[in-house]
Structure 1
């Protein structure tokens, strides 16, 4: 069923998963022990029902179909896997290393999205110290 959607809607779904996942992980400071798939799904459900324009363009029949939900679950897993598999850029690694040396911190990060979070955290700390 998911594959029957227009490319624009599929792209919008992927964007909504990506944005919500990255925001959720930021909210829990990328702490894997705090990660709860149900909490993430609740966040995503709230996002799509209140902010996502694509959600209104899908029929109620499709939204009620279990196969559509299976397809969405698979897509969510694929997007999350892609996010956590994308390595940080060399520039991110260098910037984080410089800031960590200045602040004497030792944050770890495993993917590009987590590096964005760490970079932001370190920049905020540096700005507060200046």
Structure 2
């Protein structure tokens, strides 16, 4: 079912998952102990119903089909795994190290998306 969607719709679904996942993690400060898959799913559902064009392009009977839900759940797992396993860039690492020296902080991060969050957090602290 998911595989039968146009490539544009699949790309849009993937983008909505990654965008909302990163936004959800930012909303909880990337604190693992605060993560709830149920809360993330609510966050994502709110995101795609309000912001994603792909939602209106999928027939209602497909949206309520349990098999489609299983395929989407698998896609969510794949996107999350990819985000969490993407290494921070050298530039991110250098920038964060420099900012932490200036601010006297010691934040840790394990992936590119979390590094982007930490970098922005540090830049905001520096500008205050």
Normalising by structure 2, what TM-score? 0.99
C-alpha distance in 2, partners of 1:25/1:104?
A: 24
Once superposed, which parts of structure 1, at least 4 consecutive aligned residues long, lie more than 6 Å away? none
Correspondence list, 1:62-101, <5 A: 62-101=62-101
Instruction: Provide the residue aligned with 2:38 in structure 1.
Output: 38
Partner of residue 56, structure 2: 56
Report what 1:2 is aligned to.
2
Aligned equivalents of 1:88, 1:31: Cα separation in 2 = 18
Q: Which whole-Å deviations, capped at 9, do the CAs of 1:21-57 have from their partners, x for residues lacking one?
A: 0000000010000000000000111111111111011
How many residues in Structure 1 have an aligned counterpart in Structure 2? 128
**Paired position in structure 1 for 2:28:** 28
Structure 1 unmatched runs, 5+: none
Residues in 2 aligned to 1:50 and 1:98: alpha-carbon distance in whole angstroms? 38
